[in-house]
Structure 1
Amino acid sequence: MGFSREENAFIEWYPLGYGVGFKVKRRLFETQTDYQRLEIYETEGFGKLLVLDGTVQLVEVGEASYHEPLVHPVMLAHPNPRRVLVIGGGDGGTLREVLRHNTVEKAVMVEIDEGVVEASYLYLDVAKDLLDRLIKKEEPRAELIIGDGVKYLRGSEEKFDVIIVDSTDPVGPAKLLFSEEFYRDAYERLNERGLYITQAGSVYLFTNELLDAYRNMKKVFDRVYYFSFPVIGYASPWSFLVGVKGDIDFTKVDLERAKGLDLQYYDPERHETLFQMPRYVRKLLEEKE
């Protein structure tokens, strides 16, 4: 991946010359954190844009097109998600969606880069109030830990009903989060009935990375599901992988619990449409099953 700042535009270049761009008014903030280059732009029509190492993380207008399919399908498929772990997600959007579920008693967010949390709190209208409570340790149902999610999983004795990995793309530094070893650690941290979900990159442009992650998960979890969703700001469709521990059926969700959520993008009543995948990709995923 690369990126290009043309006049009045931010363009993220994917492999094969495919680009996703936004017209921008100005750059609001830029810094080098301990882990990555962080930039925030004001766009013409999509609010503010968060960029990490040249890759688009979210735009304010439409960010729920990523956070909703990452969170609600697994939360509604689990019969009683009381304890939830979020790895990454420093902008707060994923945890915000998790806490919309009244079943949740405790949620832990482990973000390695404190700079992402601080910049998101100061500049983004995504989860500002929630981040404020987390920073002040005033959120009764959630805890923010600044640390390495890989080390946290390996060292923690806590068990969770749902684990959500909201990471950067499955290339470069984040590749460890898509390894068999990491999946085994996550499996151990799930309760007897648990669900694990991760974003897995662009269906068309990161197909090999999706295949690798899927095959690694198949070595660990009792069942693995794949689905895709169109995400604003990403090279859509975007892929997601779900690992199941125990007897949970991810093809079914609790529509009664879904009634009060008032979602914009993911439609629980059409949950089955998640599983649409280009035929050639589905054949690649299933050829060695």
Structure 2
Amino acid sequence: MHFIEWYPRGYGVAFKIKEKLFETQSSYQRIEIYETEGFGKLLVLEGTVQLVEQGEESYHEPLVHPVMLAHPNPRKVLIIGGGDGGTLREVLKHKTVEKAIMVEIDEMVVEISKIYLGIDRGAFDDPRAEVVIGDGVEYIKRAEEKFDVIIIDSTDPVGPAKQLFSEEFYRHAYEVLNSEGILITQSGSVYLFTNELLDAYSAMKSVFDRVYYFSFPVIGYASPWSFLVGIKGSIDFEKIDMNRAKELELVYYDPERHETLFQMPKYVKELLEGKLKL
């Protein structure tokens, strides 16, 4: 038995499966949990791989720690999505954090992740954490408090999640950041979602003071996987706080090699910089 997620152009990512542990249809999506042969449990939403238990840090660490370490004092963090709890867990590793709000639209993802995955490792019960069940787009529009860091841990930049990569959404996000703030979003497969990456980059550049892009190899995804970082104020994303980095126990992201994040295929870099057209 196997599970395959098909990407554009006939590219697939496959796992050998021991058994299906759970399947249901929530109000928003089909949720499946599998036991794989070599990577522990697999979370699938609407047919797309969200994470594998053994290796999920290869996604959550680069999504969280580079921006947290680049911000001089990240006290308040907003997470959009991330119902499995992995992003919240990594955010709360930072001692500077006083409050972390996670806004997840599908409560069932949170509950099923608690039962079958447990990758939050107690993060949902941390007194600094607040879980809000609701639409992240609407939350950003109506938010009255300000944040130091915003992390968009959504599904791919296609279909229902596409509005999370729009110029309108980024404008609202920019407004709820403090004067020195930073936003990060995952932005899809470098090779297979190139157009979506370019669109999101263009939308973000029209809003933020500076925008950075980087990639990272993620287990279970059509890697390399892309990430976009928007800066409000004077934060330099190429520089991180190594003193705070030494307090973290990490598996995949290496703060001492932070500069290696910015390696991007030459043609993709030229596309992003407008030197090449598709």
With structure 2 as the length reference, what TM-score do the two structures score?
Answer: 0.98
Task: Please name the residue that 2:80 is paired with.
Answer: 87
CA contact (8 A) 1:120 1:128 kept: no
CA contact (8 A) 2:89 2:121 kept: no
Counterpart amino acid of residue 93 in structure 1: G
Residue 140 of structure 1: how far off its partner (Å): 1.5
Task: Please name the residue that 2:107 is paired with.
Answer: 114
Of 35, 38, 45, 2:38 maps to: 45
Residue 199 of structure 1: how far off its partner (Å): 0.1
SS in 2 for 1:174: helix
Task: Please name the residue that 1:125 is paired with.
Answer: 118
CA contact (8 A) 1:121 1:128 kept: no
1:1-289 counterparts in 2 under 5 A? 8-131=1-124, 133=125, 139-287=126-274
SS in 2 for 1:263: coil
Over the aligned positions, Cα root-mean-square deviation in angstroms equals 1.0
CA contact (8 A) 1:60 1:125 kept: no
Counterpart amino acid of residue 201 in structure 2: Y
With structure 1 as the length reference, what TM-score do the two structures score?
Answer: 0.94
CA distance in 2, matches of 1:288, 1:279: 11
CA contact (8 A) 2:123 2:129 kept: no
Residue 130 of structure 1: how far off its partner (Å): 2.5
SS in 2 for 1:266: coil
CA distance in 2, matches of 1:188, 1:99: 24
SS in 1 for 2:88: helix
CA distance in 2, matches of 1:14, 1:265: 25
SS in 2 for 1:250: coil
CA contact (8 A) 1:160 1:191 kept: yes
CA distance in 2, matches of 1:18, 1:259: 39
Counterpart amino acid of residue 126 in structure 1: I
SS in 2 for 1:126: coil
CA contact (8 A) 1:176 1:182 kept: yes
CA contact (8 A) 2:74 2:97 kept: yes
User: Unaligned 5+ residue runs, structure 2?
Assistant: none
CA distance in 2, matches of 1:118, 1:172: 24
Residue 288 of structure 1: how far off its partner (Å): 6.7
Task: Please name the residue that 1:4 is paired with.
Answer: none
Residue 262 of structure 1: how far off its partner (Å): 1.7
The CA deviation string for residues 210-233 of structure 1, in whole angstroms up to 9 with x for no partner, is: 000000000000000000000000
CA distance in 1, matches of 2:31, 2:256: 37
Q: Number of residues paired by the alignment? A: 276
User: Unaligned 5+ residue runs, structure 1?
Assistant: 1-7, 134-138
CA distance in 2, matches of 1:229, 1:189: 28
